């Protein structure tokens, strides 16, 4: 769905640019070397649809963009299968048997634990426990060697209403008016999951945890639901350098400070690449829809993975 070469788009210059850190030798990604380096290891992405894009990007990079019969779908080992009432599974897991390398993605758009309030009622509200990491993360942390998490774009009232999420802290609905503010609730959750992971690292010495900063959107003249668009196809019209010393995502940067959780800072460099979004193009030629949040693949998320693998 994000392969822009399968859409009506005809300009693919965004594929030819590569990030170069200053005063740093930045090796090109080589999939065989990467898989050997990740032999007997599991890389997990947990987050929203931008986390899913990073997962899909890494899968394409590791396979060379080709379907390989040697890559095994092992979703059942993690109970990530499509259930009858679901549109899709909650994630995907693939293993490269030659090196026993596993790459997985699990959908958790807020990094809060989601628990139906009444499991017998299909229309029940869902408790969104801001102070509990997702159950999938807690259950499978011992299986991971690398964990990359992200959150950001689902923290809005529309998403909460549509999903019937009710924010909880300490096992009960939030009563604190300050914490009921979504920006504060997001910050609380980000700090909570970071502290929890930091507390677990002594028990999981081989695990490396990264918190990826937010991926920027580039809607102009409106939002995703109010006529916003991103029609530029010329790379780097807004500049080609990141000169700031701190992250553009101050919340994530602040949360990991003083912990053993590492910052994967992609916000400022991605901000320069407004031409790399899906934009108005689609496989189904849907009229009037602009996606200035997600990225074409191959594309900008490949850079995120090059930084991760460097």
3-state SS assignment for residue 264: strand
pLDDT, tens digit (0-9, with 9 covering 90-100), for 248-267: 999 999 999 999 999 999 99
Q: At what angle do helices 49-63 and 300-309 cross, to 10 degrees?
A: 70
pLDDT at 39 over 80: yes
Q: Among the listed ranges 36-45, 59-68, 97-106, which one has the minimum average pLDDT value? A: 59-68
Distance CA 51, CA 215 (A): 9
The whole-number pLDDT of residue 224 equals 72
- Domain map of the chain by residue range? 4-309
pLDDT at 286 over 80: no
Mean pLDDT computed over 212-236: 88
- Residue 227 Cα to chain centre, angstroms: 25
Which comes out higher in pLDDT, residue 188 or 83? 188
pLDDT at 208 over 70: yes
How big is the CA angle at 253 (ends 252 and 256), to the nearest 5 degrees? 85
Token pair 């594309």 is found at 299
Region of residue 64 (phi > 0: left; psi between -120 and 50: alpha; otherwise: beta): left
pLDDT, tens digit (0-9, with 9 covering 90-100), for 12-23: 999 999 999 888
Distance CA 153, CA 175 (A): 24
pLDDT at 155 over 90: yes
pLDDT band for position 86 (cuts 50, 70, 90)? confident
Distance CA 192, CA 169 (A): 11
Tokens of 224: 């995703």
Token pair 């507390």 is found at 199
pTM score: 0.95
Mean pLDDT computed over 101-117: 98
Please report, rounded to a whole number, the percentage of residues in the chain having pLDDT higher than 90. 81
Contacting residues for 54 by C-beta, under 8 A, at least 6 apart: 45, 148, 150, 212, 301, 304, 305
The whole-number pLDDT of residue 287 equals 66
Token pair 């530029």 is found at 232
Tokens of 70: 């040697």
Tokens of 310: 């460097």
């Amino acid at each position: 769905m994000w392969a822009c070469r399968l859409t009506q788009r005809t300009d693919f210059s965004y594929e030819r640019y590569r990030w170069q850190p200053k005063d740093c030798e930045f090796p090109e990604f080589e999939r065989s070397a990467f898989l050997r380096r990740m032999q007997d290891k599991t890389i997990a992405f947990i987050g929203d649809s931008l986390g899913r894009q990073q997962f899909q990007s890494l899968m394409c990079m590791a396979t060379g963009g080709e379907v390989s019969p040697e890559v095994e779908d092992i979703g059942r080992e993690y109970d990530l299968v499509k259930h009858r009432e679901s549109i899709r599974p909650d994630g995907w897991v693939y293993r490269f048997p030659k090196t026993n390398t596993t790459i997985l993605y699990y959908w958790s758009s807020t990094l809060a634990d989601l628990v139906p309030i009444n499991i017998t009622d299909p229309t029940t509200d869902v408790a969104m426990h801001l102070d509990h990491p997702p159950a999938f993360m807690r259950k499978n942390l011992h299986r991971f060697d690398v964990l990359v998490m992200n959150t950001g774009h689902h923290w809005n009232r529309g998403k909460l209403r549509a999903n019937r999420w009710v924010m909880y802290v300490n096992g009960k609905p939030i009563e604190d008016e300050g914490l009921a503010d979504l920006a504060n609730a997001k910050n609380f959750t980000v700090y909570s999951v970071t502290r929890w992971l930091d507390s677990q690292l002594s028990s999981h010495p081989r695990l490396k945890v990264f918190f990826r900063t937010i991926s920027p959107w580039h809607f102009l003249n409106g939002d995703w639901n109010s006529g916003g668009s991103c029609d530029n196809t010329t790379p780097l019209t807004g500049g080609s350098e990141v000169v700031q010393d701190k992250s553009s995502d101050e919340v994530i940067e602040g949360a990991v400070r003083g912990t053993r959780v590492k910052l994967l800072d992609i916000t400022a460099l991605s901000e320069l690449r407004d031409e790399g979004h899906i934009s108005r193009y689609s496989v189904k030629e849907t009229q009037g829809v602009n996606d200035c949040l997600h990225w074409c693949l191959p594309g900008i998320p490949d850079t995120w993975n090059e930084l991760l693998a460097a």
